[in-house]
Amino acid sequence: MIQFDSTHAFLKEDITSYQDQVTKIHEALLAKEGKGNDFLGWVEWPNQYDKEEFERILKVAEKVKDKAEVLLVCGIGGSYLGARAAIEMIQGLYSQNKTEVIFIGNTFSSTYFKQVEAYIQNKSVILNVISKSGTTTETAMAFRMLKQIMENKYGKEECKTRIIATTDKSRGTLKDLATKEGYETFVIPDDIGGRYSVTTAVGLLPLAIMGIDIKAIMDGGIQAYNDLANPDLKTNAAYQYAVARRILQNQGKDAEMLVTYEPQMTMVGEWWKQLFGESEGKDGLGVLPCSATFSTDLHSLGQFVQDGKKVLFETLLLVEHPTMDGLFPHDEENMDNMNYLENKSLDWVNKMACKGTLEAHEVTGNVPNIILTLPDMKEFSFGYMCYFFFRACAITCYLIDINPFNQPGVEVYKKNMFKLLGKN
Ligand code: PA5
């Protein structure tokens, strides 16, 4: 499903020389041992996800779908990025979906909030608030304001059918509030951290409301689980990628740029940055994850990649079959001199741009390139890709003895902020 290609990566070590280390990590992962092992629920999730809850997600989504002119998804970090990445990847940026999704609760920007408030004023709204802890300030602040706006508009009773909370199964402020108000609630499992949670209710409920085939997403995860069952570095593409990253960092490449040629994959880049950045960037270690969308960013960051300081490697996340395609037209006058492309498919042009850029960055720019190729941008591929990156991320972190499942660094800004905000 995902092909790994390191032939453009200038690896100075043999990937298979890491086999013993990787096999040990793989076994520990499956045995639920190692750092952060109380957050390994995602490992078996494709096989062991809660089927009853899954059915309830489908049912509730079906019920609210027709009411939802706008679906507000209120959450941040792992409670936000996966759903957004999936919706954009699968439906594209200008889909004909009659439900529009707006993500909120991921910023303190007053302008952002007030603009959304004005925008939804005359629209029928469904609100899914998502927070595992239930106390994240960005989300809690936005939720209180949205709750009041909706109660004023619909009344408390109607809000019971329009507000859905996804949170811890039994504790926390949001759980208590949802129970008191009589909202439908969905569970974020105890042993699955935010950034590993897109295939739990965190991602699945908004996706189902948006009309996405969530069963196919789960099937993709199962396929990835099966394909990655063997830690053999000759065949396990996720583990090959995990090791290649380590080798490249050993060669002095401290930054990785995930590159897509599809604008609808830009948010996958954001999701991937969170997964790797929050998992790996600690103890003064880790590769800095950044992302770019080409050709757009070839006219900006492309200059740095080609010609700037040699600190980074690229990981091309390519897509074999685009969701849509068309032919470039003939023009009788050819004033723009573009007839040389007539009858060429638009995707072919994109792929040639990719080929030319790869050669420029690799041969002239001396920038290592890892290539990961996805078959398409459909649900199954999304589910597969998420599980692929979960595994790769865990293995690559454990290779430098890092706990992939905590985020102690994130607490520092919160402490300072709370002091300034006067929180006791
Ligand atoms: O990956 C993570 O664990 C974090 O990014 C969280 O998802 C994020 O901080 C939001 O937390 P919560 O769901 O508790 O509001």
Q: For 164-179, how does the pLDDT look when each residue is reduced to its tens digit (9 = 90+)?
A: 999 999 989 999 999 9
Q: How far, in Å, is the centroid of ligand 1 from the Cα of 54?
A: 21
Q: Is the pLDDT of residue 350 over 90?
A: yes
CB 372 within 8 A of CB 318: yes
Chain length of the chain: 424
Residue with tokens 């595992």: 132
131 lines ligand 1 (CB under 6 A): yes
Check pLDDT > 90 for residue 237. yes
pLDDT bracket for residue 310 (50, 70, 90) = very high
Q: Does ligand 1 have an atom closer than 6 angstroms to the CB of 147?
A: no
206 C-alpha to ligand 1 centroid (Å): 17
* Mean per-residue pLDDT, 227-245: 98
Pocket flag, ligand 1, residue 139 (CB < 6 Å): yes
289 lines ligand 1 (CB under 6 A): no
Query: pTM of the prediction?
Result: 0.97
- Sequence ranges of the domains in the chain: 3-33+219-398, 41-212
- Closest approach atom of ligand 1 to CA 278: 1
Query: How far, in Å, from the CA of 76 to the mean position of ligand 1?
Result: 6
8 Cβ closer than 6 Å to some ligand 1 atom = no
- pLDDT recorded at residue 340: 98
Q: Which atom of ligand 1 is nearest to the CA of 133?
A: 14
d(CA 142, CA 19): 47
Q: Where residue 3 falls among pLDDT bands split at 50, 70, 90?
A: very high
Which residue's C-alpha comes closest to atom 9 of ligand 1?
77
Average pLDDT value for the chain: 97
Q: Which atom of ligand 1 is nearest to the CA of 76?
A: 10
pLDDT surpasses 90 at 420: yes
The pLDDT of residue 424 is above 90: no
Superfamily of domain 3-33+219-398: Glucose-6-phosphate isomerase like protein; domain 1 (3.40.50.10490)
Residue nearest to atom 15 of ligand 1 (CA): 131
Q: Average pLDDT for residues 13-26, to the nearest whole number?
A: 98
38 C-alpha vs ligand 1 centroid, how far in Å?
16
194 lines ligand 1 (CB under 6 A): yes
Q: Which residues are catalytic?
A: 278, 299, 414
What is the structure's pLDDT at 399? Answer: 98
Mutate to test the pocket of ligand 1, among 136, 273, 397, 405 (most ligand atoms within 8 A of CB): 136
Average pLDDT value for residue range 16-43:
97
**How remote is the CA of residue 230 from the centroid of ligand 1, in Å?**
31
pLDDT band at 57 (very low <50, low <70, confident <90, very high): very high
- The finding on whether 76 has its CB within 6 A of some atom of ligand 1 is yes
- Rounded to an integer, the average pLDDT of 52-64 is 97
Residue 78 in contact with ligand 1 by CB distance below 6 A: yes
**Mean pLDDT over residues 69-91, rounded?**
98
Tell me the mean pLDDT in the region 393-404: 98
Contact 4, 239 (CB under 8 A): no
Percent of the chain's residues with pLDDT above 90: 98
Ligand 1 pocket residue status of 168, Cβ below 6 Å: no
CATH topology of domain 41-212: Rossmann fold (3.40.50)
Going by CA atoms, what residue is nearest to atom 3 of ligand 1? 194
* Cα of 131 from ligand 1 centre, angstroms: 7
* Mean pLDDT score, 97-109: 96
Atom of ligand 1 nearest to the CA of 136: 15
Compute the distance between CA of residue 182 and CA of residue 165 in angstroms, rounded to an integer. 10
**Does 186 score more than 90 pLDDT?**
yes
